[in-house]
Amino acid sequence: MMACMGRISWSALISAAMLVLQSRPLLAASDPSSGASDSWLTGWPLAVMTAVTTTAGTVLVTYANHRLTIARDSQQERDRHATYVATRVVCMLDPFVLHCVDVIHDQGEYVDDELTPQVDAPELEFPADLDWKTLDAALMYRTLSLPNEIAVADSMIVAFAQHSGPPNWDEVREERRYQYGRVGLHALDLAADLRRRYKLDQPDFTRWNPRDTLDIAYSNEDVRRKKASESIKNMIANSDRKKAVAQPDPL
C-alpha cells in the first residue's frame, strides 16, 4: 500500500511539473510583448521545448516507477523469507514443547536405589543458515533468547541438585518440572505468535492442549511459591516488630 502511495505521489508531482513547464511556453507565445514563437526560458521554439519537457517527464516517471517496483519486489522477497524462517522455527518449537511436557510427566525410575529421570532434558539449537534480520524484531529477540532461557533453567536445576539428595531427589524433580513448565510456555507462546504474525496454520488443540500441563507445572507452582515467599516475609517482619517491642527503652 505504501508503494502504491509512493507511485501516485511521484507520478502526480512529475506530471504537475510537466504541466507547469508546458504552460509557460504557451503563455509566452500568447503574449505579444515576448514574441509569438519563443519560449520564456531559453528562447527555443515552442515545439522543441515541449518535446524536451515531455521526454524529461517521461524518463523521470519511468525511473520512479522502476525504483518503486524494485522496492516492492524486494519487500515481497523479504516477507517470503521471513515466512520461511518462521515456518522452520515453529517446526522446531512444536516438538520442543512436547518434550517439555514429557519432562513434566516423567516419574523417573530407580537405578541402584536412586530415582533417576527417564526423560532427557530437551535441547533447542536453531540452524545457522537462517536470516534472522527478516523476522519482526520483537519475535526475533524472543526466538534467539529462548536457548538462554533453557540454559538458565538447567542452571537452576543443577543448583537445586546441590541441596537435594538420594534416594528420591525430590527438590530436583520439583524444580525440573517447574523450569521446563516455564520454558515450555515460552516456546508455546512464541510459536503461536509466529504463526499469527506470518499467517501460518495454528495447531488443533481441541482434544488436548499442552498448555494445561505446562500451566500446572509452572503457573500454579509459581503462584504457590510467591505466596510462600510472601508468607516468609510477613513472618520475618512480625518477628522484627516483636523484637522491637520487647526491647526496653534505653531512656
pLDDT confidence of residue 13: 47
Largest CA distance in the chain: 115
**What are 67-82's pLDDT values in tens digits?**
666 655 566 788 889 9
Alpha-carbon distance of 139 to 137, in angstroms, equals 6
Question: What is the DSSP secondary-structure string of 32-66?
Answer: GGG-SSB-TTT--BHHHHHHHHHHHHHHHHHHHHH
- At residue 53, the pLDDT reads 72
Residue 87, amino acid: T
Judge whether 94 and 77 are in contact, CB under 8 Å: no
- Whether the pTM exceeds 0.95: the reply is no
Cβ contact 113:167 at 8 Å = yes
Where in the chain are the domains?
Answer: 2-231
b (16+ CB within 10 A) / e for 203-213:
eeeeeeebbeb
Average pLDDT across each block of 10 residues of the chain; the chain has 251 residues. List them in order: 45 51 49 47 60 71 66 72 95 96 87 79 91 94 96 91 69 88 96 96 91 90 76 72 67 55
> Which residues are CB-contacts of 181 (< 8 A; sequence separation ≥ 6)?
100, 104, 213, 214, 215, 216, 217, 218, 219, 221
